[in-house]
């Protein structure tokens, strides 16, 4: 379905959802395909030589936005149902590094920051004119962080507010490699520059202030690119890519909701199958363990270059913790749901060095503080920090989903354990990453009305 109609559907579906919890929470869930890996598998194969099959592709709208953008650039993509229990299968016919065609329309990234920032690296310095934009959230998120280094490499890119906001217009230019010190530990920024570096003259060298997710480096290397990583430094030399089939592991960012549900519910055991546990993504496991969580990993295995495991969680007496420093980029998307664990824990949990949360799909520090305060939890915030005073309880109520999938789903998990039901307005936003989320709650025994 074209993006415009998908979004229309989402806007028409402004149905509040009400969640209440069962006495026992038991069950097994298969995590949906990882969003970060799905975006990359589609984009990188689109500019590779040959064609590829992607298995267990993310069901979320964000990755569908990436497919739509690639189609508008002339890439042939077929999508069909996957095998039982798996996400859709995608066939991508790669155009090679230099053959994307000029789009006749504005490229619509929807709500997806990954689409906007990674595609910026792909569109930079090409022989075509393209305009990339997205929804209200995307048009207010910082794009200067990618535009500025791409312009330094020689790309002609223009945007609103002195080239810092989308819509972004790409008008060619000639790319040259450079050394770049990244101001933030952002995988989106790193990936954008690496993708431009594939087509630049000479080497591109990056230093990141801390590790961020490394799916780009892993996948580009597997496709034959000259990418080298040494601690926080990554470099790339001009390369062609060879198409590769990708089995997309389950999304740990989606699994995190069930992990926290199982830990905070007084009588629970939940198994989440097939979760990607790449160390640059798995900070949530370490953070919850610091909070005294009963989490075990079973069937650890490798799926197409990414480590995968089944994760088993059981009811736990959680304690507050300090979550700060280099671990933060490794669990950045999970902070809204870890905050639910913090609310149910004994003592206070401090999230530090978390200013990036303010520029996600919404300001996630403000949104979390807003709904949790209404749920009877004391939350203190500064620009970079959030302190949750664990009360061991959450009141119910009606909370706004803040047009942010991870906020709405965190409120949904709260409904499984709160003293009275939780109603989430704008709950359909979960489909950005996890359309089946509300049905899965029912599968575990929760009531969804
Ligand atoms: C992502 C990186 C993260 C994350 C986002 C997905 C990616 O953003 O928040 O949901 O796929 O590269 P930053 O790298 O900008 O922190």
Helix (H) or strand (E) holding 369: helix 364-374
Over residues 12-38, mean pLDDT: 91
3-class secondary structure, 286:
helix
* Distance (Å, whole) CA 446 – CA 449: 10
Residue 183 shares a structural domain with residue 54: yes
Please give the number of the atom of ligand 1 that sits closest to the Cα of 36: 11
68 lines ligand 1 (CB under 6 A): no
pLDDT in tens, 328-345: 999 999 999 999 999 999
Catalytic residues: 333
Residue 253 shares a structural domain with residue 344: yes
Residue 351 CA to its chain's centroid (Å): 19
The alpha carbon of 187 and the centre of ligand 1 are apart by a number of angstroms equal to 6
CATH of residue 400: 3.65.10.10
Atom 11 of ligand 1, residue of closest alpha carbon: 36
Residue 67 shares a structural domain with residue 162: yes
pLDDT in tens, 124-133: 999 999 999 9
* Distance (Å, whole) CA 215 – CA 231: 15
146 lines ligand 1 (CB under 6 A): no
188 lines ligand 1 (CB under 6 A): yes
Q: Is pLDDT of 42 > 80? A: yes
Q: Confidence band (pLDDT; 50, 70, 90) for 10?
A: very low
Please give the number of the atom of ligand 1 that sits closest to the Cα of 253: 10
Please give the number of the atom of ligand 1 that sits closest to the Cα of 216: 12
Residue 91 shares a structural domain with residue 140: yes
The encoded tokens of residue 307 equal 């480590």
Q: Is pLDDT of 13 > 60? A: no
Predicted confidence at residue 303, as pLDDT, reads 83
The alpha carbon of 360 and the centre of ligand 1 are apart by a number of angstroms equal to 9
Count of residues in the chain:
449
Burial 414-436 (b: 16+ CB within 10 A, else e): bbbbbeeebbbbbbbbbbbbbbb
332 lines ligand 1 (CB under 6 A): yes
Helix (H) or strand (E) holding 231: none
The alpha carbon of 406 and the centre of ligand 1 are apart by a number of angstroms equal to 13
Residue 338 CA to its chain's centroid (Å): 15
Q: What is the mean pLDDT of the chain?
A: 96
DSSP string of 380-395? EE-SS-EEEEEES---
Atom 15 of ligand 1, residue of closest alpha carbon: 186
Could you tell me if 187 and 356 are in contact, meaning their C-beta atoms sit under 8 angstroms apart?
Answer: no
Predicted confidence at residue 7, as pLDDT, reads 40
Residue with the bigger pLDDT between 272 and 14: it is 272
* Distance (Å, whole) CA 271 – CA 381: 33
The residue out of 226, 247, 268 marking a domain boundary is 247
186 lines ligand 1 (CB under 6 A): yes
Residue 64 shares a structural domain with residue 189: yes
Please give the number of the atom of ligand 1 that sits closest to the Cα of 187: 14
Residue 131 shares a structural domain with residue 225: yes
The encoded tokens of residue 174 equal 């000639």
* Distance (Å, whole) CA 297 – CA 235: 33
Over residues 265-284, mean pLDDT: 98
> Which is nearest to 168 in space by CA: 135, 139, 196, 131?
131
Atom 16 of ligand 1, residue of closest alpha carbon: 186
Q: Confidence band (pLDDT; 50, 70, 90) for 4?
A: very low
Q: Calculate helix-pair angle for 283-290, 252-264, nearest 10 degrees.
A: 20
213 lines ligand 1 (CB under 6 A): yes
Q: Confidence band (pLDDT; 50, 70, 90) for 15?
A: confident
The residue out of 208, 227, 247 marking a domain boundary is 247
Over residues 142-165, mean pLDDT: 98
Residue 314 CA to its chain's centroid (Å): 25
Residue 265 shares a structural domain with residue 223: no
Number of structural domains (the chain) is 2
Q: SS3 string of 259-274?
A: HHHHHHCCCEEEEEEE
Residue 212 shares a structural domain with residue 283: no
Angle 322-327-329 from CA coordinates, rounded to 5°: 120
* Distance (Å, whole) CA 356 – CA 82: 35
Predicted confidence at residue 379, as pLDDT, reads 98
The alpha carbon of 189 and the centre of ligand 1 are apart by a number of angstroms equal to 9
Helix segments in 125-251, DSSP class H: 144-152, 160-163, 187-197, 215-222
The encoded tokens of residue 26 equal 């038991």
316 lines ligand 1 (CB under 6 A): no
333 lines ligand 1 (CB under 6 A): yes
Q: Which residues contact 382 (CB under 8 A, 6 or more apart)?
A: none
Residue 233 shares a structural domain with residue 169: yes
Helix (H) or strand (E) holding 53: strand 51-57
3-class secondary structure, 447:
strand
The alpha carbon of 191 and the centre of ligand 1 are apart by a number of angstroms equal to 10
Residue 237 shares a structural domain with residue 326: no
The residue out of 225, 247, 269 marking a domain boundary is 247
3-class secondary structure, 27:
strand
Residue 276 shares a structural domain with residue 173: no
Q: Confidence band (pLDDT; 50, 70, 90) for 9?
A: very low
Predicted confidence at residue 81, as pLDDT, reads 98
Residue 13 shares a structural domain with residue 56: no
Domain hosting residue 136, numbered range: 35-247
């Amino acid at each position: 379905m074209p993006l415009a109609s998908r979004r229309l559907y989402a806007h028409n579906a402004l149905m509040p959802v009400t969640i209440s919890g069962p006495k026992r929470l038991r069950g097994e869930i298969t995590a949906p395909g990882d969003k970060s890996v799905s975006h990359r598998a589609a984009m990188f194969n689109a500019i590779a030589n040959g064609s590829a099959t992607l298995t267990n592709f993310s069901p979320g709208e964000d990755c569908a936005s990436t497919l739509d953008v690639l189609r508008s650039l002339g890439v042939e993509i077929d999508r069909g149902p996957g095998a039982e229990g798996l996400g859709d299968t995608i066939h991508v016919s790669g155009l090679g590094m230099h053959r994307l065609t000029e789009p006749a329309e504005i490229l619509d990234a929807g709500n997806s920051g990954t689409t906007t920032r990674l595609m910026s690296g792909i569109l930079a310095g090409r022989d075509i004119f393209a305009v990339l934009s997205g929804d209200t959230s995307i048009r207010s998120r910082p794009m200067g962080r990618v535009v500025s280094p791409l312009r330094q490499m020689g790309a002609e890119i223009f945007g609103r507010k002195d080239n810092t906001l989308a819509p972004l217009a790409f008008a060619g230019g000639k790319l040259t490699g450079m050394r770049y010190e990244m101001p933030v530990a952002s995988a989106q920024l790193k990936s954008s520059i690496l993708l431009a570096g594939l087509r630049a003259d000479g080497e591109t060298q990056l230093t990141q202030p801390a590790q961020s997710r490394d799916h780009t480096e892993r996948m580009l290397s597997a496709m034959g690119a000259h990418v080298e990583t040494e601690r926080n430094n990554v470099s790339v030399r001009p390369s062609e890519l060879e198409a590769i089939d990708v089995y997309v592991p389950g999304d740990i960012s989606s699994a995190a909701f069930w992990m926290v549900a199982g830990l905070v519910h007084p009588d629970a055991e939940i198994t989440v199958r097939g979760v990607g546990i790449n160390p640059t993504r798995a900070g949530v496991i370490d953070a919850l363990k610091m909070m005294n969580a009963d989490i075990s990993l079973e069937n650890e295995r490798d799926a197409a270059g990414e480590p995968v495991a089944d994760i088993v969680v059981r009811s736990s007496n959680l304690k507050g913790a300090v979550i700060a420093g280099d671990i933060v980029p490794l669990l950045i998307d999970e902070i809204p749901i870890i905050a639910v664990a913090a609310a149910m824990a004994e003592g206070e949990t401090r999230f530090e060095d978390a200013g990036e949360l303010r520029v996600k799909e919404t300001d996630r520090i403000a949104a979390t503080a807003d709904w949790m305060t209404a749920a009877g939890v004391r939350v203190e915030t500064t620009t970079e920090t959030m302190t949750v005073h664990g009360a061991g309880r959450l009141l119910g109520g009606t909370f706004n989903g803040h047009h942010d999938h991870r906020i709405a789903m965190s409120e949904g998990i709260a409904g499984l354990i709160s003293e009275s039901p939780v109603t989430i307005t704008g709950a359909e936003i979960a489909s950005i990453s996890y359309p089946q989320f509300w049905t899965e709650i029912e599968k575990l025994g929760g009531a969804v009305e």
